[in-house]
């Protein structure tokens, strides 16, 4: 495992994966196609469509060169294999070299085809041509897209490899190799599904991701899916002209409080249940006076440090939803990353407790 060949292979594999899928660290270091070729690509704000015509072509070419880069690197990392003499290398390496040369060759041919007639054959240009008026071409539509993208009131969200942009006229999704475009006036929007995550890797907060299908009335325009955080759903709807239809059983949590309450309930379900004595009857929740009391505070940690949890001797008097709302109301709105680990006083006796102390009543 310590040989230069294995070390280089593992290092190059990590580099290739990060270069293609560009994590935050690579963006911060400027190791992206957009940054390395910024002088040739130009400015996205100044000319959105020309920028992405060149960016998608350059990205495809750079990624197609990665296998060839690996072969060249192996010529130095494993010099005893004499890979710099293809005629003397094993058949496996000759086949790999042929593949590594074919990929950029095919890519260059495809890019040349796209660039003919001033990029008129590029997939993005062809999509824009579907929206052109009879006596105008795709460049007139591109000019309209460029103008609207420069406006500050556009809706934009998402990671660099899957950005969602909504202007007054257009719904766009920018991916690594393609830009999907649809005109607002003839799209059908459908909320397909939602995914709930207890912790976001970026903010360490609960997050709900929504998947929306964008389908054009023009069958020649390919449908595409956009994903966004549920907290951005309201802002998206304000920018859209068409309504978003929802499939059954999709519940949208548009605020951080909604997401926290769902996470709070899921964590309480994991805690040990509290058995109510047979002589004790459960009354209505004193918070909402509608649901029955369903949780009991039971100190589970043994630490006696300052600020630690305390034993609550109150009988079950609160439902899960009201206890969750009380817990959320005692948090610092500016520090949502501390909510799950914080301690709050019991709403009745003021004994401090954490989420681990909230037990469902059985």
Dist. CA 265–CA 261, nearest whole Å = 6
Give how far the C-alpha of residue 79 lies from the chain's centroid of Cα atoms, to the nearest Å. Answer: 42
Partnered with residue 352 across adjacent β-strands are: 345
d(CA 60, CA 124): 14
Which tokens is 60 given?
Answer: 């495809």
Supply the pLDDT for residue 81.
Answer: 79
d(CA 71, CA 73): 5
Buried b (16+ CB within 10 A) or exposed e, 24-44: eebeeeeebbbeebeeebeeb
Whether the pLDDT of residue 1 is over 50: the answer is: no
The sign one gets for the Cα dihedral 74, 75, 79, 80 is positive
Does the pLDDT value for residue 50 go beyond 70? yes
Pull the structure tokens for residue 181. Answer: 């475009």
- DSSP secondary structure code for residue 222 in this structure: P
Q: What is the pLDDT of residues 239-271, one digit of tens each?
A: 998 889 987 677 776 677 777 888 888 889 999
**Average pLDDT over every residue of 48-62:** 97
Those residues whose C-beta lies under 8 Å from the C-beta of residue 6, and which sit 6 or more positions away, are: none
The confidence score (pLDDT) of residue 323 equals 93
pTM, entire model: 0.75
| Lowest-confidence segment of 186-190, 200-204, 307-311 by average pLDDT | 200-204
């Amino acid at each position: 495992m310590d040989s230069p060949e294995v070390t280089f292979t593992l290092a190059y594999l990590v580099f290739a994966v990060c270069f293609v899928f560009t994590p935050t660290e690579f963006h911060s270091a400027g190791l992206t196609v957009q940054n390395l070729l910024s002088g040739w690509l130009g400015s996205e704000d100044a000319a959105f469509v020309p920028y992405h015509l060149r960016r998608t072509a350059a990205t495809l070419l750079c990624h197609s060169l990665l296998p060839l880069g690996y072969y060249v690197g192996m010529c130095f990392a494993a010099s005893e294999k004499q890979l710099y003499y293809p005629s003397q290398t094993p058949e496996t390496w000759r086949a790999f070299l042929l593949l590594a040369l074919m990929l950029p060759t095919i890519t260059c041919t495809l890019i040349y085809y796209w660039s003919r007639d001033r990029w008129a054959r590029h997939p993005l240009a062809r999509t824009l041509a579907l929206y052109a008026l009879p006596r105008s071409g795709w460049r007139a539509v591109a000019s309209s897209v460029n103008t609207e993208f420069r406006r500050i009131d556009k809706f934009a969200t998402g990671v660099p490899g899957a950005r969602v942009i909504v202007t007054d006229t257009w719904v766009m999704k920018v991916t690594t190799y393609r830009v999907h475009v649809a005109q607002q006036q003839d799209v059908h929007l459908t909320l397909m599904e939602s995914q709930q995550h207890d912790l976001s890797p970026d903010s360490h907060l609960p997050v709900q991701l929504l998947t929306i299908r964008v389908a054009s009335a023009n069958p020649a325009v390919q449908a595409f899916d956009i994903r966004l955080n549920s907290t951005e759903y309201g802002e998206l709807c304000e920018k859209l002209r068409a309504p978003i239809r929802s499939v059954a059983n999709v519940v949208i949590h548009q605020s951080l409080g909604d997401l926290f309450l769902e996470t709070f309930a899921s964590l309480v379900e994991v805690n040990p249940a509290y058995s109510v004595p047979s002589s004790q009857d459960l009354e209505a929740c004193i918070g909402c006076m509608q649901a029955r009391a369903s949780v009991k505070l039971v100190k589970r940690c043994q630490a006696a440090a300052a600020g630690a949890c305390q034993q609550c001797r109150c009988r079950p008097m609160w439902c899960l939803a009201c206890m969750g709302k009380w817990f959320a109301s005692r948090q610092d709105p500016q520090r949502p990353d501390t909510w799950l680990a914080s301690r709050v006083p019991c709403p009745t006796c003021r004994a401090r407790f954490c989420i681990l102390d909230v037990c469902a009543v059985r």
